[in-house]
Amino acid sequence: MSDLRLAGQGKGRRLRALLTNPQYLMVYATIGIFLMIYLFGALLYGNKGFTSVRTFMLFFSDNAYIGISAVGMTLVLITGGIDLSVAAVASLTGMIIAFGTSVLGLHPLVCIGIALVVGVGLGALMGACIQYLNVPPFITTLTGMFFARGVTSLISRESISIKHEMIDALAGFKIYLMWPNAQGEWVKIKPVASIDLNTIAFVVMIIIGAIILQKTRFGRNVYAIGGNEQSANLMGLPVARTKVLVYSFNGLCSVLAGISYALYVKSGWNLSLNGSELDVISACVIGGVMLSGGVGYMFGTLFGVLLKATIPAIITFNGSMNSWWAKIFTSALLLLFIIIQRAVIASSQRTKKKAGQG
Amino acid sequence: MKKSVMQSAFLRSKLFWAIVAQLLILLVGFILRPDFLSIQLRTLSDGTTVLYGTPIDILNRASEITIIAMGMTLVIALGGTDISVGALVAVSGAIALKFLRWDVLVYNTPGDYTVQPFILVLLLPLLACTLMGLFNGMLIGKLKLQPIIATLILMVGGRGIAQIVTNGKQFTTQYSPFKFIGNGSILGIPLPIIITLLVILLVSLFVRRTSYGMFVESVGINPSASRVSGLRSDTIIIIAYVLTGFLSGISGLIYSSRISSNDSNNAGLGYEMDAILAVVIGGTSMTGGKFSLFGTVIGSLIIRTITTLVLYFGIVSEAIMAFKALIIAVVIVLQSEPVRNAIAKRRDRKRLLMGGEARV
Q: Do A150 and B163 touch (CB under 8 A)?
A: no
Contacts of A18 (CB under 8 A, 6+ apart): A24
Whole-number percent of chain A with pLDDT over 70 = 94
Beta bridge partners of B51: B41
Give the pLDDT score at A356. 62
Considering the domain boundaries, does residue A17 fall inside one? no
What average pLDDT is seen over chain B?
A: 84
A337: closest CA among A295, A292, A284? A284
CB contact under 8 A, B338 and A132: yes
* Most confident range, picked from A235-244, B144-153, B274-283: A235-244
- The answer to the question of residue A328 being in a domain is yes
Supply the pLDDT for residue A1: 42
How far apart, in whole angstroms, are the C-alpha atoms of residue B23 and residue A279? 38
Give a yes or no: residue A353 inside a domain.
no
Q: Do the chains contact at B316 and A133, CB–CB below 8 Å? A: no
Burial B4-26 (b: 16+ CB within 10 A, else e): beeebeeebbbbbbbbebbeebb
Lowest mean pLDDT among A145-154, B16-25, B118-127: B16-25
Q: Tens of pLDDT along A245-254?
A: 999 999 999 9
How far away is chain B from the Cα of A3, in angstroms, using its nearest Cα? 31
Of A169-178, A226-235, A342-351, which gets the smallest average pLDDT?
A: A342-351
Choose the weakest-confidence range: A49-63, A93-107, B6-20, B90-104.
B6-20
If you measure CA to CA, which chain B residue comes closest to A157? B318
Pairing state of beta strands A174-176 and A194-196? antiparallel
Is residue A127 within 8 Å of A259, Cβ to Cβ?
A: no
3-state SS track over chain A: CHHHHHCCCCHHHHHHHHHHCHHHHHHHHHHHHHHHHHHHHHHHHHHHCCCCHHHHHHHHHHCHHHHHHHHHHHHHHHCCCCCCCHHHHHHHHHHHHHHHHHHCCCCHHHHHHHHHHHHHHHHHHHHHHHHHCCCCHHHHHHHHHHHHHHHHHHHCCCCEECCCHHHHHHHHCEEECEEECCCCCEEECCCCCEEEHHHHHHHHHHHHHHHHHHHCHHHHHHHHHHHCHHHHHHCCCCHHHHHHHHHHHHHHHHHHHHHHHHHHHCEECCCCCCCHHHHHHHHHHHCCCCCCCCCCCHHHHHHHHHHHHHHHHHHHHHCCCCCHHHHHHHHHHHHHHHHHHHHHHHHHHHHHHHHHHC
Asked, for residue A94, whether it belongs to a domain, the answer is: yes
In this predicted structure, the answer to whether residue A173 has a pLDDT above a threshold of 60 is: yes
C-alpha closest to that of A37 among A344, A341, A330: A330
Q: What is the pLDDT of residue B356?
A: 53
The dihedrals phi and psi of A195, each to the nearest 5 degrees, come to: -105, 120
Is B316's CB within 8 Å of A271's CB? Answer: no
pLDDT beyond 80 at B7: no
What integer pLDDT is reported at residue A22 of this predicted model?
67
DSSP per-residue letters across B214-283: HHHHHHHH-HHHHHHTT--HHHHHHHHHHHHHHHHHHHHHHHHHHTTB--TTTTTTTHHHHHHHHHHHTT
Is A324 in CB contact (< 8 Å) with chain B? yes
Comparing CB atoms, the residue among B146, B168, B321 nearest residue A324 is B168
Q: What gap in Å lies between CA B96 and CA B253, rounded to an integer? A: 7
Closest-CA distance of chain B to residue A325, Å: 7
CA of A38: how far to CAs of A34, A42, A43, A211, in Å?
A: 6, 6, 9, 28
Q: Give A150's contacts (C-beta < 8 A, 6+ positions apart).
A: B318, B319, B320, B321, B322, B323, B324, B325
Residues of A in contact with B322 (CB under 8 A): 146-147, 149-151, 153-154
**Does A2 have pLDDT greater than 50?**
no
**Amino acid A333: pLDDT:** 83
Alpha carbons B104 and B62: distance in angstroms, whole number: 32
Q: Choose among A133, A136, A342: nearest Cβ to B144.
A: A342
Q: Confidence band (pLDDT; 50, 70, 90) for B150?
A: confident
- Rounded Cα distance between A289 and A266, Å, is 32
**Cβ separation B153–A335 shorter than 8 A:** yes
Name which of B160, B286, B319 is nearest A154 (Cβ-Cβ).
B319
Q: The domain that contains A307 carries what CATH number?
A: 1.10.3470
pLDDT of residue B254: 94
Question: Regarding predicted confidence, which is higher, B342 or A121?
Answer: A121
Q: Say if B341 is an interface residue toward chain A (CB within 8 Å).
A: no
The total of other beta-carbon atoms located within 10 Å of residue A94's CB is: 34
Report the pLDDT averaged over residues B344-353. Answer: 71
Contact B323 A150 (CB under 8 A): yes
pLDDT of residue A204: 95
Lowest mean pLDDT among A93-107, A265-279, B202-216: A265-279
Most confident of A301-315, A332-346, B108-122: A301-315
Compare all CA atoms of chain A with the CA of B148 and give the residue at the minimum distance.
A291
- The interface pTM score, or ipTM, of the predicted complex is 0.77
Assess B273–A contact: CB distance below 8 Å, yes or no: yes
C-alpha to C-alpha distances, A329 to A50, A59, A281, B6, nearest whole angstrom: 19, 17, 16, 54
Averaged pLDDT, A156-172: 86
Domain ranges of chain B: 54-314
Distance (Å) of CA B169 to CA A32, A157, A279, A326, B45: 37, 27, 24, 17, 33
pLDDT of A15 strictly over 50: yes
* Cα(B113)–Cα(B107) distance, integer angstroms: 10
Element (H, E) at B42: strand B39-43
Kindly report which listed range (A183-197, A207-221, A243-257, B227-241) carries the lowest average pLDDT score: A183-197
Inform me whether the C-beta atom of residue B151 falls under 8 Å from chain A C-beta atoms: no
User: Within an 8 Å CB–CB cutoff, is residue A136 touching chain B?
Assistant: yes
What fold, for B54-314? ABC transporter involved in vitamin B12 uptake, BtuC (1.10.3470)
Is some CB atom of chain B closer than 8 A to the CB atom of A308? no
* Dist. CA A11–CA B174, nearest whole Å: 74
Q: How far apart are CA B150 and CA A10, in angstroms?
A: 43
Q: What is the pLDDT of residue B3?
A: 52
Query: pTM for this one?
Result: 0.84
Find the range with the poorest average confidence among A150-154, B16-20, B54-58.
Answer: B16-20
Instruction: Please state, as a whole number, how many other Cβ atoms lie within 10 Å of the Cβ of residue A12.
Output: 8
H or E segment to which residue B51 belongs: strand B49-53
Res. A4 pLDDT band, cuts 50 70 90: very low
Distance separating alpha carbons of residues A354 and A108, to the nearest angstrom: 59
Query: Using 50, 70 and 90 to split pLDDT, how confident is the model at B62?
Result: very high
pLDDT reading at A126 higher than 70: yes
Cβ contact A322–B277 (<8 Å)? no
The answer on pLDDT for B15 being more than 70 is: yes
Element (H, E) at B122: helix B118-137
How many angstroms separate the CA of residue A157 from the nearest CA in chain B? 8
* Higher-confidence position of A277 and A23: A277
Residue A347 belongs to some domain of the structure: no
Nearest alpha-carbon partner for A63 in A196, A222, A226, A221: A196
Q: What is the pLDDT of residue A5?
A: 47
pLDDT of residue A79: 94
**Closest approach of chain A CAs to the CA of B267, in angstroms?**
14
pLDDT, tens digit (0-9, with 9 covering 90-100), for A18-76: 777 767 778 888 888 889 888 988 888 888 888 888 888 888 988 999 999 999 999 99
Q: pLDDT tens, A176-208? A: 887 787 787 888 777 778 888 999 999 999 999
Calculate mean pLDDT across residues B219-247: 89
Residue A358: pLDDT over 70: no
Most confident of A79-93, B109-123, B322-336: A79-93
Mean pLDDT of B136-148: 88
| Inter-chain touch B337–A134, beta carbons under 8 Å | yes
Residue B314 has pLDDT above 90, yes or no: no
What is the domain extent for residue A86?
25-336
**A96 domain residue, yes or no:** yes
Q: Are A267 and A95 within 8 A, CB to CB?
A: no
* Alpha-carbon distances of B143 from B84, B129, B150, rounded to whole Å: 18, 20, 10
More confident residue, B75 or B261: B75
Across A49-53, A180-184, A260-264, B266-270, the highest mean pLDDT is recorded for A260-264
A4 falls within a domain: no
The verdict on whether omega for the bond into residue A191 sits within 30 degrees of 0, i.e. cis, is yes
User: How many distinct structural domains can be found in chain A?
Assistant: 1
**Residues of chain B neighbouring A304 (CB-CB closer than 8 A):** none
Searching chain B, which residue's CA lies closest to the CA of residue A284?
B149
Quick one: average pLDDT of B10-27? 76
Which residue in A264, A303, A352, A293 sits closest to A70, CA to CA? A303
The pLDDT value recorded for residue B351 is 67
pLDDT of res. A6: 46
Residues of B in contact with A142 (CB under 8 A): 273, 276-277
CB neighbours of residue A301 within 10 Å: 31
What confidence score (pLDDT) does residue B328 get? 75
- Chain Cα centroid distance, residue A43: 28
Q: At residue B359, does pLDDT exceed 50?
A: no
- Residue B245, pLDDT > 90, answer yes
Strand partners, A187: A179
Question: What part of A 264-283 touches B (C-beta under 8 Å)?
Answer: 270-271, 278, 281-282
